[in-house]
């Protein structure tokens, strides 16, 4: 080979190696975690809390998009479930098969969660549920790749019954066995699951259950159910529903003169005060809602010291998106907290200990999360049960609280360890629905 050709060859080799190096470097820089995010941005569930969940998750995802996690870029791809289970399934499948996401996150409606979880498990992808609470999503399914840090529906139903039982004598002047209670619920996976917790709690407390009835969340008329409630004369009504049906129920209850001493709601539509007040006006005052605690109501001294500044930042970001809101909905903080947990506990461990963000690495990392009470912005800890457990994938350390809306503010009233004030029970004489 001539000297000139040798120089040319060497130069070409250097260029090729340099190009290869740039390609490898680019590939290294392009390590990413693609997250498919699914909430209801249209349809009746959007205004009932799902859009607020989306905002909370997006606030947190936007923060980690700026910084990345352990050298991985975070890329969120959003989809609208349109308040329809079939659309949720199709969007989850599209995100996994066409968009090639590494995992899916979100899901407001239990009616969507149940079939989507089955589909995602079948496709062997990782699913992180921020919101839906139905026990049926996980109970006896033994899924490997579906995880929920959120409290489950039976916990909601049990807690509200305990709350009323513990206050029965002091607030209503009756022993629990003499207290008349009614359980009404939308008949989807969400409402049915919570009502089972209500039934179990009522049996434990010894309540006199005078009525139990389910109804379609899309029903155009609930007057027949209201008539039955009038005949049953419950002291306390336990209600699980979404926003449109809650609004319809209270309107027809007012029109038909239904009276009671208290009504206790369970998340979903009861978690969006602005919508309750929009539909009910001043009658939204003194309603109860059961949900994971609003991150803005958690006691800072009971949290890991790293969390209060994050809570403050989430509130500031939310106020920019929704200025002038009287009460920051628990839905916002719920999604933000559960998304933060994923990106600070699960993903870093998957990358550092298990070498990446494939479903198996994420699964192993999730199984190793072990946070005590106060370890999340929602106040509870995190620990997932061993594989083969009846509720595999369900956070064993999660719990909801009961809040009451009082004069355009929300206060935790139960359990006592978290309470900010005494509950106003029963409804004061002279208010629209009071039976006093």
Model confidence pLDDT, tens digit, residues 214-228: 999 999 999 999 999
Residue-level pLDDT at 327: 85
Are residue 198 and residue 313 in the same domain, yes or no? Answer: no
Q: Is the pLDDT of residue 13 over 70?
A: no
Structure tokens at 376: 């999340």
DSSP for 397-429 reads T---EEEEEETTEEEEEESTTT-SS----SPPT
Distances (CA, A) of 210 to 250, 261, 418: 19, 15, 31
Binned at pLDDT 50, 70 and 90, residue 243 comes out as confident
Strands, E assignment, 197-321:
208-215, 236-240, 262-266, 288-291
Q: Is the pLDDT of residue 284 over 50?
A: yes
Are residue 124 and residue 198 in the same domain, yes or no? Answer: no
* Percentage of the residues of the chain whose pLDDT score is greater than 70: 93
Residue-level pLDDT at 2: 46
Residue-level pLDDT at 61: 98
Rounded Cα distance between 321 and 218, Å, is 29
CATH code of 407's domain: 3.40.50.2300
Rounded Cα distance between 132 and 112, Å, is 9
Rounded Cα distance between 148 and 169, Å, is 36
Rounded to two decimals, what is the model's pTM? 0.80
- Residue 58, in any domain of the structure: yes
pLDDT of 374-414, one tens digit each?
A: 999 999 999 999 989 999 999 999 999 999 999 999 999 99
| Cβ neighbours for 25, distance < 8 A, ≥ 6 positions apart | none
Burial 53-87 (b: 16+ CB within 10 A, else e): bbbbbbbbbebbeeeebeebebebebbbbbbbbeb
Are residue 227 and residue 255 in the same domain, yes or no? Answer: yes
Beta strand pairing call for 103-106 and 409-414: unpaired
- Residue 132, in any domain of the structure: yes
- Which domain, by its residues, includes 333? 32-151+300-383
Are residue 264 and residue 407 in the same domain, yes or no? Answer: yes
Residue-level pLDDT at 267: 83
Residue-level pLDDT at 15: 44
Are residue 51 and residue 133 in the same domain, yes or no? Answer: yes
Rounded Cα distance between 37 and 101, Å, is 10
Query: In a 3-state reduction of DSSP, which class is residue 369?
Result: coil
- Residue 21, in any domain of the structure: no
Are residue 85 and residue 180 in the same domain, yes or no? Answer: no
Residue-level pLDDT at 21: 47
Are residue 406 and residue 370 in the same domain, yes or no? Answer: no
Average pLDDT over residues 251-257: 97
Structure tokens at 393: 């994938």
Binned at pLDDT 50, 70 and 90, residue 29 comes out as low
Binned at pLDDT 50, 70 and 90, residue 154 comes out as confident
Residue-level pLDDT at 326: 84
């Amino acid at each position: 080979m001539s000297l000139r050709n040798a120089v040319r060859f060497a130069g070409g080799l250097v260029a090729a190696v340099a190009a290869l190096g740039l390609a490898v470097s680019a590939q290294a820089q392009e390590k990413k975690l693609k997250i498919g995010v699914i909430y209801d941005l249209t349809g009746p569930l959007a205004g009932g809390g799902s859009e607020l969940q989306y905002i909370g998750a997006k606030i947190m995802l936007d923060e980690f998009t700026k910084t990345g996690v352990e050298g991985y870029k975070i890329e969120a791809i959003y989809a609208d479930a349109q308040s329809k289970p079939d659309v949720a399934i199709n969007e989850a499948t599209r995100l996994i098969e066409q968009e090639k996401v590494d995992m899916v996150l979100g899901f407001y409606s239990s009616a969507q969660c149940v079939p989507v979880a089955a589909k995602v498990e079948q496709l062997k992808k990782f699913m992180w549920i921020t919101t839906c609470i139905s026990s049926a999503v996980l109970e006896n399914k033994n899924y490997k790749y579906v995880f929920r840090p959120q409290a489950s529906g039976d916990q909601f139903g049990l807690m509200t019954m305990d709350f009323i039982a513990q206050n029965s004598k002091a607030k209503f002047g009756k022993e629990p066995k003499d207290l008349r209670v009614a359980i009404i619920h939308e008949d989807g996976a969400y409402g049915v699951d919570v009502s089972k917790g209500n039934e179990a709690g009522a049996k434990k407390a010894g309540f006199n259950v005078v009525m139990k009835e389910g109804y379609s969340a899309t029903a155009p008329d609930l007057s027949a159910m209201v008539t039955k409630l009038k005949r049953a004369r419950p002291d306390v009504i336990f209600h699980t529903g979404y926003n449109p049906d809650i609004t319809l129920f209270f309107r027809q209850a007012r029109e038909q003169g239904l009276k009671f001493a208290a009504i206790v709601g369970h998340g979903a539509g009861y978690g969006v005060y602005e919508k309750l007040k929009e539909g009910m006006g001043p009658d939204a005052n003194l309603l109860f809602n059961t949900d994971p605690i609003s991150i803005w109501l958690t006691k800072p001294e009971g949290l890991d010291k790293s969390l209060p500044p994050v809570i403050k930042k989430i509130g500031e970001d939310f106020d920019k998106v929704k200025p002038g809101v009287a009460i920051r909905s628990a839905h916002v903080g719920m999604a933000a907290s559960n998304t933060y947990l994923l990106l600070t506990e699960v993903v870093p461990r998957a990358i550092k200990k298990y070498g990446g963000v494939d479903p198996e690495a994420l699964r192993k990392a999730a199984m190793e999360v072990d946070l005590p009470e106060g370890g999340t912005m929602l106040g509870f800890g995190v620990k997932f049960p061993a594989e083969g457990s009846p509720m595999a994938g369900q956070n064993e350390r999660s719990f909801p609280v009961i809040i009451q809306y009082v004069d355009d503010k929300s206060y935790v009233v139960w359990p006592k360890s978290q309470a900010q004030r005494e509950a106003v029970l029963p409804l004061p004489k002279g208010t629209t629905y009071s039976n006093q």
